[in-house]
Amino acid sequence: MRFDDRPVAAWVNSLFVDHSVLRTVWRNFAVVVPGRWYRASHPLPWRVGTWVRRHGLRTIVNLRGPRECGSDALSRAAASRLGIAHVYMPFESRGAPHKDRILRFHEIWRTVQTPVLMHCKSGADRAGLASGLVLMFEGGTAADALGQLSVRFGHFRGAPAGILDAFFLRYQAEAEGRLPFLDWVKHEYDEDALRRDFRANGIASFVNDRLLRRE
């Protein structure tokens, strides 16, 4: 990728194009499952090193997916230097969660070396979805999962990313207590119906997409 052998260009792109200058302050770090799963905004390399030492991280799960940006190149380089795994698990922040991606993430959850740090760009939406899924895989409730999608992390339910809340709310309404979460995902979850039924709030969409410029 074009930034892999150009560290100065990677830093310039990361700081000023991918907005990681803001993430020098906005870590958005939180514990999801104590000692095993953590979440954050896209971390700067020195912060990855700090968290490896502090929390014993063994794996980074990048929820943004492969991309030609300085932040991605710097994260992969940091993981390699520190001897930890770097795994891509892309999710959308504004679309109905894809069944195949949920099942792939479940396989990662089942086999990955913990402790794990999950990150997207800001740590608000995709990190909230993935954290909620981890709690569901761990036997939690939809209410537990929804707690990972909150204003505390910069997530706005009325914005297009609110479809992630709607996903967990649909399981809660349709199947919780009747059908295990993964069985519902495999056999009853209807992405198209969720997409069709969800309506975002215009003001929240403007704040999320135009002012905050979320992915």
Q: How confident is the model at residue 209 (pLDDT cuts 50, 70, 90)?
A: very low
Split at pLDDT 50, 70, 90, the class of 211 is: very low
What's residue 200's pLDDT? Answer: 76
The CATH number that domain 7-211 falls under is 3.90.190.10
- Would you kindly state where each structural domain of the chain is located, as residue ranges? 7-211
| pLDDT value for 172 | 98
132-165 pLDDT, tens digit each: 999 999 999 999 999 999 999 999 998 999 999 9
pLDDT for position 201: 63
pLDDT digits (tens, 9 = 90+) for 39-54: 999 999 999 999 999 9
Q: Which pTM value belongs to this model? A: 0.93
How many C-beta atoms lie closer than 10 Å to residue 35's C-beta? 10
